[in-house]
Amino acid sequence: GFRSSSKLLLVFSLSGGGLLAYSESQSNSTAKNTEHNQLTNKKKVVVLGTGWASTSFLKDLDISSYDVQVVSPRNYFAFTPLLPSVTCGTVEARSIVEPIRNIMKKKNGEIQFWEAECTKIDAANKKVFCHSVIESNLVGNKDFSLEYDYLIVATGAEVNTFNTPGVMEYCHFLKEVEDAQKIRRSVIDCFEKAILPELTEEERRINLHFVIVGGGPTGVEFAAELHDFVHEDLVKLYPMVKDLVRITVIQSGDHILNTYDSRISTFAEQKFARDGIDVRTGCRVLGVSDKAVNVKVKSTGESVSVPRGMVVWSTGVSTRPVVKDLMDQVGQGKRKVLATDEWLRVKGCEDVYAIGDCATIDQRKIMEDIAAIFNAADKDKSGTLTVEEFQDIIDDIIIRYPQVELHLQSARLSSVTDLLNDPEGNARKEVDIEGFKLALSQVDSQMKSLPATAQVAAQQGTYLSNCFNKRDLAKITPEGPRRFKGTGRHEFLPFRYKHFGQFAPLGGEQAAAELPGDWVSVGRSTQWLWYSVYASKQVSWRTRVLVVSDWTRRSIFGRDSSRI
């Protein structure tokens, strides 16, 4: 059903190929929609976003049982791991995007897409308010609202400036395709400006000083791409300034790539040192002005002003305003990130799910929940459970909280073994609950949230569509763990993340990879592994062919340095 509160709607008529305008009264439209839903008995699902999480949700969703509408300011999916390659023209922007309408084409139904931004989620009335972001003088209302039975929030996150002065005004970001395109033009601008007549050598040097703030995977990959672009292509085109180029990475921690295995960060630091990329660790940026980056060296406490050409800010992400507003509504106002439970349901409201970078599975209350589970099981309030009861509960906890499995295992090996056996090593008949809770509290602090990566987002999308597809079946035959605060079982197994490893391309046809099972691989062969994994992970054959042909074009003709 075509659902909108706007009075005048513009739609593209696919059959006629032209622009067709028609008006419809709001009451008429609502009546029709209600009628449509009663006839089809389909639940209304509204999905916010067209990124990694939402597209993987849509790809596998069985839309014969749902009426699906997608809202996003972006009518395409972007393959973000290749964004750093777009900044230097190794890969073209259009090669890494797929129109969302191509992804949504389904054989057994239709998914509606509205190019707009969700400005407010009204969780109590199950409604979202949207605003069209199409900048034009086309006629018609820009605002509309949608009702939902289930809402999937997958709006990702926004760049985090940590309120550092000057960052918004003077820095580039690397989050969206447009950001990468702007960086590409800006790099060329720096070179064209640096070679203009009547500049002093110092001015040329400053214009060609590229500063990257943040030594995480994005900052490091961009530094590596830029180094390759400069040394493989630009120095041949701008020979007079080739010795004046400088690339600096500023990192507040002690190492770059500090979320990776230490062997990888050491390899990256050594490679950058050989390549002449200046890595300044232990430095915090206090502010950015039109001419310099103001840096505080943590060890000495001194402030240094670093003259700069272009600055790329890549220091992490924070919550979007629309999600922050939802958090205030559902009693999560004091948190930094929207919290969900293990089934990815937003805590504090009904029928709202959040997947990808916009949310995190709440780990903080898991130990409290586990304590409550034990207290509920201890019906006679004796403070003990039989070993069988205890074992049963532990097995259920592992199914319910997969992320604590490893920690429980380690707890089991040490203190839990002691709880199960008396000092002589003989098996006890009963287990002391307080002792077990104490053992668990020691591992509580070791639990970390899942990283904000495409891998997590995509797996959450797939998991959730699976749950949606099995919703009716699961009501009859639930597959989840026992409910501790009621009778019966949960409908679904909780979300379980499987880590497939991570890459760090380091330039010069070399990459590092952290693979499952504590494997680390570095060098040229890893770069080939990177090429094959990233080619295979493309969402369509169209983008796969485009990306591979871009890589081939680059290796034959080099990168294009036109400023378009």
Residues that bind ligand FAD (CB under 6 A): 48-54, 71-74, 80-81, 83-84, 117-118, 154-156, 174-175, 218, 320, 322, 356-358, 452-455, 457
Q: First-to-last CA distance in the chain?
A: 41
How far apart CA 227 and CA 223 sit, in angstroms, is 6
User: Is the distance from CB of 223 to CB of 277 less than 8 angstroms?
Assistant: yes
How far apart CA 75 and CA 98 sit, in angstroms, is 9
Here the tokens at position 88 are 């230097």
Closer by beta carbon to ligand FAD, 176 or else 430:
176
Least CB distance from residue 27 to ligand FAD, whole Å? 27
- Nearest alpha carbon to residue 538 among 147, 66, 85, 219: 85
Q: 189 Cβ partners below 8 Å, 6+ apart? A: 563
Least CB distance from residue 8 to ligand FAD, whole Å? 22
Q: 479 Cβ partners below 8 Å, 6+ apart? A: 470, 489, 491, 492, 493
- CA geometry: angle at 95 spanning 92 and 98, to 5°? 140
Residue 442 CA, distance from chain mean position: 30
Q: What are phi and psi of 172, to 5 degrees?
A: -90, 155
User: Is the distance from CB of 357 to CB of 156 less than 8 angstroms?
Assistant: yes
Q: What are phi and psi of 531, to 5 degrees?
A: -55, -45
Least CB distance from residue 323 to ligand FAD, whole Å? 8
Least CB distance from residue 71 to ligand FAD, whole Å? 5
User: Is the distance from CB of 79 to CB of 53 less than 8 angstroms?
Assistant: no
Q: What are phi and psi of 64, to 5 degrees?
A: -70, -20
Residue 24 CA, distance from chain mean position: 38
Closer by beta carbon to ligand FAD, 448 or else 475:
448
Least CB distance from residue 53 to ligand FAD, whole Å? 3
User: Is the distance from CB of 333 to CB of 327 less than 8 angstroms?
Assistant: yes
Closer by beta carbon to ligand FAD, 463 or else 484:
463
Specify the DSSP class assigned to residue 209.
E
Least CB distance from residue 103 to ligand FAD, whole Å? 12
Q: 555 Cβ partners below 8 Å, 6+ apart? A: none
Closest residue to ligand FAD, judged by C-beta, is 51
Least CB distance from residue 22 to ligand FAD, whole Å? 25
CA atoms within 13 A on the CB side of 448: 5
Closer by beta carbon to ligand FAD, 174 or else 285:
174
Least CB distance from residue 218 to ligand FAD, whole Å? 4
DSSP H or E run through 433: helix 433-444
22 has which bridge partners?
9
